[in-house]
Amino acid sequence: MLRAFKALSTTEGVSVASDVALASCTTYRIGGPADLVAVANTYAGLVSLFRVLEAEQVPWVILGRGSNVLASDAGYRGCVVRLGSEFDRIQVEGTTISAGAGVLLARLVNKSLSEELSGLECCAGIPGTVGGALSMDAGSRHEWIGRAVRDVVTYRPGVGMRRYLASDIEWGYRWTTIPSDEIILEATFELARSTKAAVASEMNRRLARRRATQPTGKPCCGSVFKNPGDRSVGAMLEGCQLKGYRVGQAAVSDRHANFVVNEGGARATDVLAVINHMHGQVQERYGVDLTPEVKFLGFEG
Ligand SMILES: Cc1cc2nc3c(=O)[nH]c(=O)nc-3n(C[C@H](O)[C@H](O)[C@H](O)COP(=O)(O)OP(=O)(O)OC[C@H]3O[C@@H](n4cnc5c(N)ncnc54)[C@H](O)[C@@H]3O)c2cc1C
């Protein structure tokens, strides 16, 4: 790891740090040290970065803002890759907006509003980056970002870049057919001409619902589990009377039973224990095997 760190320290277009607390890279504010965190600031830097990681056989994971991640207390033995300045660009052309994968989703959403373009309202209020949102196909159960995509450019380490047209990709509720070993670099969204008032009204409706139903101000990862089919996971968890259930400093939110919040100083093992309890209770009461929406980083197996 030391050799990789040294090589990356002198790699153009890359900035690297060692022993970085994952708590500082995730919205949960939880997680032990990652051996390395490397930011690729340029396309060329990204390619060089992966050359080093491959040569030194360092495992890697790409992260945006870590808003959908629970990182282990032991941290991550490998390199967390993030996208920097060259991937933080937005460009508007007619009714399309192109955005680098490192752009904050909120910035993209605001851009669509100021340009009076409709199609990204479902992303209002969702934290994270464009890359993370595309990887997760972020949105709600019924609408998601993938529907607005015209094309996506990805990079497969050791192979190269690839442009997918909308017709090459399938999207669904928190899934996409974009291969999970490819890094999303940028995307173009095909939007519809609208008015600022109409776009704002649709965004505000979703923001108001979010404010009314979700915990605010406490570190979390959003929804822990996906809704199974047409059923509401929140209702099932409430049926199990799990609101307020806690282990250590991790608790099921009083406002939304599918949110597990960090009450301050929670450990990943606390959150995991709460999640496992939720899963077990729903399995027992409803016979449903819930699928996590949150991604786990640095856990064994
Ligand atoms: C308060 C709160 C509310 C939320 N509400 C919603 C909601 O309403 N709807 C919703 O869908 N989500 C919601 N989320 C979850 C989260 O914000 C989204 O999943 C978001 O899109 C993740 O973006 P990110 O950049 O933080 O990705 P990360 O959490 O960093 O990563 C998530 C996944 O995407 C992968 N990834 C990240 N960047 C890239 C890339 N460039 N290329 C390839 N893969 C990549 C990661 O490896 C990981 O598997 C919420 C989270 C919080 C904290």
Range 12-28 average pLDDT: 98
Q: How many CA atoms lie within 13 A of 225 on its CB side?
A: 28
Range 125-138 average pLDDT: 98
Range 132-157 average pLDDT: 96
Burial category of 148 from C-beta neighbours within 10 Å (exposed 0-12, middle 13-18, buried 19 and up): buried
Which pLDDT does position 256 carry in this prediction? 94
Range 186-214 average pLDDT: 96
Which pLDDT does position 9 carry in this prediction? 96
Residue nearest to atom 43 of ligand 1 (CA): 183
Rounded Cα distance, 243 and 260, in Å: 9
Q: What is the pLDDT of residues 77-118, one digit of tens each?
A: 999 999 999 999 999 999 999 999 999 999 999 999 999 999
Second-level CATH architecture of 88-212:
2-Layer Sandwich (3.30)
Q: Which of 176, 129, 174, 124 is nearest to 149 (CA)?
A: 176
Which pLDDT does position 301 carry in this prediction? 62
Determine the distance separating the centroid of ligand 1 and the alpha carbon of 3, expressed in angstroms.
31
Range 241-250 average pLDDT: 97
Which CATH number applies to 2-86: 3.30.43.10, 3.90.1150.10, 3.60.40.10, 3.40.50.300?
3.30.43.10
Residues within a 6 A CB radius of ligand 1 = 27, 61-69, 83, 101, 126-129, 131-133, 135-136, 138-139, 183-184, 220-222, 295
CATH number of 217-292: 3.90.78.10
Determine the distance separating the centroid of ligand 1 and the alpha carbon of 10, expressed in angstroms.
30
217 has pLDDT over 90: no
Q: Which of 98, 112, 145 is nearest to 126 (CA)?
A: 145
Pocket test for ligand 1, best of 67, 105, 206 (most atoms within 8 A of CB): 67
Nearest ligand 1 atom to the CA of 83 is 41
Burial category of 56 from C-beta neighbours within 10 Å (exposed 0-12, middle 13-18, buried 19 and up): middle
Residue nearest to atom 10 of ligand 1 (CA): 138
The region of weakest confidence among 25-29, 137-141, 162-166, 212-216 is 212-216
Helix (H, G, I), strand (E, B) or coil at 264: coil
pTM above 0.95, yes or no: yes
Tokens, residue 298: 């640095």
60 has pLDDT over 90: yes
Q: Where are the domains of the chain?
A: 2-86, 88-212, 217-292
Q: What is the pLDDT of residues 261-282, one digit of tens each?
A: 999 999 999 999 999 999 999 9
Q: Which of 116, 263, 123 is nearest to 187 (CA)?
A: 123
Determine the distance separating the centroid of ligand 1 and the alpha carbon of 244, expressed in angstroms.
25
Please identify every residue annotated as catalytic. Answer: 174, 223, 293
Range 150-155 average pLDDT: 98
Rounded Cα distance, 46 and 40, in Å: 5
Q: Mean of the per-residue pLDDT values for the chain? A: 96
The amino acid that residue 4 corresponds to is A
Tokens, residue 89: 């660009």
Which pLDDT does position 2 carry in this prediction? 87
